[in-house]
Amino acid sequence: MIEPRSRTPGTIDREIPTSLNQLYQEVILDHYRKPRNKGHLDEATHVITMNNPLCGDVIELMLRVEGGSIAEVRFLGRGCSISQASASMLTGRVLGKSLEQALELSGKFTHLLHGDGAMLSDDDLGDLRTLAGVSKFPVRIKCALLAWNCLEELGDATDADSGSG
């Protein structure tokens, strides 16, 4: 028999469940509240906007690619802490990388979000590893990937360009 349990009004249980503590790490909230490289990039060579029509989150990623590598990157957007922190961290990690390397990072990050523990020791991911807690919240994976979808989209567009000669 199940133990009777009832909500006890008045006693506020403020103990934060572990899963939430892992999801909302300080680093993540810091990126959410003080996003890095947020703003317009006037000399962008590539601009991609992705939105999540179900929840209304939007990220616009602006890159300046020079001599084959990402020389400057900024983003604009609005949405939840996970989508915005992930975008902010992205801008820090892809700087100086070639598009190919950035896409490789995107792949690793996706593995991380799907619970691949091996990624936790991959230094290439840097502070992105603090987003590993998202793997416990499958419906939020798409939030964490929104900014990265911009990169993927850019990758696809570039492929198509070179494909058509």
Q: Name the residues that contact other proteins, by CB under 8 A.
A: 2-7, 9-10, 12-14, 16-17, 19-21, 23-24, 26, 29, 32-33, 54-58, 78-82, 137, 140, 143
Beta carbon of residue 143, minimum distance to other proteins (angstroms, whole number): 7
Beta carbon of residue 157, minimum distance to other proteins (angstroms, whole number): 26
Beta carbon of residue 138, minimum distance to other proteins (angstroms, whole number): 11
Residue with smaller CB distance to other proteins, 77 or 93: 77
Distance CA 79, CA 72 (A): 23
Distance CA 99, CA 153 (A): 11
Residue with smaller CB distance to other proteins, 23 or 105: 23
Beta carbon of residue 102, minimum distance to other proteins (angstroms, whole number): 26
> Burial level of 9, CB count in 10 A (0-12/13-18/19+)?
exposed
Q: Where are the beta strands (DSSP E) in the chain?
A: 46-51, 58-66, 69-78
Give the type of residue at 156: D
